[in-house]
Structure 1
């Protein structure tokens, strides 16, 4: 049954390598907003995921050092730049 679901593959490249990720294309359509491209939608999900994970590590983990707190602060700045709202405003989860 899952083989009947259409997928879409995205390429990710950085200075130290590359990877591909394949996801159901219907999920990309489901979470897209307005006239976003598929790549923009996946970019939003990636940034949201990193922000969420960083938030969890800093505020709900076993303790964060100064470097991790700085990383979390930076990803939250990037989140606000991209989405126009803070992570707390977007998720309703504020500290």
Structure 2
């Protein structure tokens, strides 16, 4: 095991001008990358997957979801399918 783990920092910016940075171990980015994805594409995939997973959990597993939250979940699922070419259920094996 090496003593020093290399990291990569990613900058995030929103339409309203807000910014943030996140630093992650570079090896983990390489580990989850698919094919010739760039590091930024890999992190983008993980962000969308995380939002889809969290929205699914909130709406379908024990939280009371109102119409607005259900619409938000439906939109992130559409964005997920657009990006990955499969539904969230197909990608995760978790269907409702």
Q: TM-score, normalised by structure 2?
A: 0.94
* CA shift in 2, pair 1:62/1:33, >3 Å: same
Cα RMSD for the two superposed structures: 1.4
**Equivalence for 1:6:** 6
Q: How many equivalent pairs are there? A: 95
Does residue 1:26 correspond to 2:27, yes or no?
yes
**Equivalence for 2:64:** 63
The DSSP-based 3-state class of the residue aligned with 2:36 is coil
The CA deviation at 1:61 is 3.0
Q: Which runs of 5+ in 1 are unaligned?
A: none
The CA deviation at 1:28 is 0.2
More helix as a share of residues: 1
Structure 1 runs, 4 residues or longer, greater than 3 Å off: none
Alpha-carbon deviations, 1:68-95, whole Å to 9, x = none? 0000000000000000000000000000
The CA deviation at 1:9 is 0.1
